[in-house]
Chain A
Amino acid sequence: MDSEPVKPVRVLSPSGMLGAGWDHATIERGIALGADVISIDAGSTDSGPYYLGSATPKTTAKAVARDLRSLLTAASSAGIPVIVGSCGTSGTDSGVDWVAGIAAEVMAQEGLDLKVARIYSEQNATGLKEHLDAGRIHPLPPLGQLRAETLESCTHIVGAMGHEPIVQALRAGAQVVLAGRATDTAVAAAYPLMKGMPAGPTWHAAKIVECGGQCTSNPRAGGVLATIDADGFTIEPLDPTVSCTPISVAAHMLYETANPFEMREPDGTLDVRDARYTAVDDRIVRVEGSRFHVADQYTIKLEGARITGYETMSFTAIRDPLILADIDAWADLMRTMIKRRVGQTLELSDGEYAFDLRLYGHNAVLDDLEPETGPPREVGVMLLVNAPDQATATAIAKVANPLMLHLPTPSMDYLPSLAFASSPAEVERGAAYEFVLNHVVDCADPTSLFRIEMGENADV
């Protein structure tokens, strides 16, 4: 039974991202080392709000198919489950169906007959408004109290599940679990927790393996195997030429976390303040002393994105040192001229659209935080326009086109011709999005916001 405590559980983490690719030999090596489960994350908010807002995957189908083929064939031969979290990058329902469709195709091609569970995590504003009205939704810093209009404005909202819905799917016999939005760690923690492993070492191990080989001496050489037992866990790279060191493992706790000592999960907080990292040998690390404090209130974190407008981009470049010597004045003049010309020709006031003028090669990345002052050798000028509709955004960019081609500095008495990168110079970017939710919902039942469907048939 699941409650037998002593047998260690081995979690194979192939990579930080389904679709990133790996050497299949690393998977075979993990199986040979006794992997009990393969878990992999397929999503993140890290690439921006577009993927959630538009419910579009960041990865390409062939890369996902290639990786699923590697995992499903190996797991099927070994008789172990595969857990995929945050399907389709943002974990929307369509993202789950997209991965399910690819998995079904791979299984048909490979002659595999695996029981698939899909777990949906998308939320609707109406349902969440009931939670809001009942005082069950709370902000996480730096955001403030949630308003109902914000929920209504989102194109997609997901809840990040903990391990419980995944465990429920595994208990129902799923051999492949395709989860919508899940915490990065829940994906790897679910199976060991189901097998009775202690929460402290399990969640800590899950955090360490969530980016695959990121915690090793060579993050590009494949994933890792975590072996969790009653007292702690060990971590070992899948590539025999790669090593984990106490530093490389401990350092991963810092990665993409605001607080390096504590990490909140739906049912409590991982606390690694007293964790001890020791070298078992020159490539395997043992970790003990990780704790998990169960929270008084179970919470599910929400993510939501909405449309901010539609964008059109234009890109030109400057090489003439006479202009570059006065580039800030040139840019100021450009901003003034765009506003004037847009007002004259499109009769739009400043508040009806927005644009960002970026001087790549000068200070585009850091803007007013840029510490260097020397004149650049060449500058790429990106004009990014945001307007309530695409046609207006493009019209503004087109009004700016002659300026992007010929604008002189204030002190020049002739018109230079600048270096457009492409024709047409304008690129329509479609809808632009922003994240607007950073809130948690109090939940009595860890699975109540999620829906589990068994069977591989996806509506795609």
Chain B
Amino acid sequence: MSETTLADLAHEVRSKNAGPFWVTMELFMRDADGYRIAADESFLNERVIAELYRVEESTVQMFRIPSLNVVKISFPRPISQGSLRDRDMHAGQHHVPLARMPIKRPAERDR
């Protein structure tokens, strides 16, 4: 079996422009257990996002919202919207590298 990913524990993972110069992503985790994994700062933090998306760590903003089981991530769009090298006009497919991140959790818990 392949590794469990953030997407496996989420109801929805999405990304979208937040205006022409920012991209924002949300992990809607299915439950509080999933949220605890996604919100764990030793697992998912600004540095990890910066490496995953090849952006400056200092520009990454993260918001953890336990009441919604949501982790939200925003950073400036590396490629400006609509430019020659922009292949995702609405930035609506850029959640995928985040969604397929293998999670870190104790080995005895499976499913």
A50, A140, A259, A386: the one contacting B84 at CB < 8 Å is A386
- Can you spell out 10 A-B residue pairs with CB atoms less than 8 angstroms apart? A142-B21, A250-B67, A256-B24, A258-B22, A260-B63, A356-B84, A366-B96, A368-B54, A371-B96, A435-B81
Please indicate the chain B residues that have their CB under 8 angstroms from the CB of A460 in the complex. none
A143, A257, A365, A371: the one contacting B87 at CB < 8 Å is A365
Is B24 within 8 A of A141, CB to CB? no
Please indicate the chain A residues that have their CB under 8 angstroms from the CB of B74 in the complex. 258-259
User: Which residues in window 49-89 of B have CB below 8 A to A?
Assistant: 52-54, 59, 61, 63, 65, 67-68, 70, 72, 74, 76, 80-85, 87-89
Please indicate the chain A residues that have their CB under 8 angstroms from the CB of B20 in the complex. 45, 49, 303, 435, 438
Our count of residue pairs bridging A and B at CB distance below 8 angstroms stands at: 104
Task: Give the docked Cα–Cα distance between A110 and B82 (Å).
Answer: 40
Please indicate the chain B residues that have their CB under 8 angstroms from the CB of A366 in the complex. 87-88, 93-94, 96-97
A143, A254, A368, A384: the one contacting B72 at CB < 8 Å is A254
| Contact A365:B93 (CB < 8 A) given known A50-B82, A258-B22 | yes
A261, A308, A365: the one contacting B88 at CB < 8 Å is A365
B90 interface hit (Cβ, 8 Å): yes
Please indicate the chain B residues that have their CB under 8 angstroms from the CB of A384 in the complex. 84
Is A49 within 8 A of B63, CB to CB? no
Is B21 within 8 A of A364, CB to CB? no
By beta carbon, the residue of chain B nearest A436 is B80
Smallest CB separation, B2 vs chain A (Å): 12
Task: Give the docked Cα–Cα distance between A48 and B86 (Å).
Answer: 10
| Contact A46:B17 (CB < 8 A) given known A254-B70, A259-B61, A435-B81 | yes
**Which 9 A-B pairs rank lowest in CB-CB distance, beginning with the nearest?**
A142-B76, A48-B82, A258-B74, A435-B20, A258-B18, A49-B82, A258-B22, A386-B84, A365-B93
Bitwise interface map of B from 17 to 33 toward A, beta carbon under 8 Å scored 1, else 0: 11111101010100000
A292 interface hit (Cβ, 8 Å): no
Bitwise interface map of A from 39 to 62 toward B, beta carbon under 8 Å scored 1, else 0: 000000111111000000000000
Listed in ascending order, the chain A residues whose CB lies under 8 Å from chain B are: 45-50, 140-143, 247, 250-251, 254-261, 303, 308, 311, 354-356, 358, 364-369, 371, 384, 386, 432-435, 438
Task: Give the docked Cα–Cα distance between A247 and B11 (Å).
Answer: 12
A45, A256, A308, A354: the one contacting B16 at CB < 8 Å is A256
Task: Give the docked Cα–Cα distance between A277 and B82 (Å).
Answer: 37
B100 interface hit (Cβ, 8 Å): yes
B side interface size, CB within 8 A: 38
Please indicate the chain B residues that have their CB under 8 angstroms from the CB of A367 in the complex. 85, 87
By beta carbon, the residue of chain B nearest A364 is B87
Please indicate the chain B residues that have their CB under 8 angstroms from the CB of A438 in the complex. 19-21
Is A254 within 8 A of B26, CB to CB? yes
Please indicate the chain A residues that have their CB under 8 angstroms from the CB of B97 in the complex. 366, 369, 371
Is A358 within 8 A of B81, CB to CB? no
Task: Give the docked Cα–Cα distance between A260 and B96 (Å).
Answer: 21
Smallest CB separation, A23 vs chain B (Å): 26
By beta carbon, the residue of chain B nearest A303 is B20
Task: Give the docked Cα–Cα distance between A354 and B83 (Å).
Answer: 11
Task: Give the docked Cα–Cα distance between A258 and B83 (Å).
Answer: 21
Is A257 within 8 A of B90, CB to CB? no
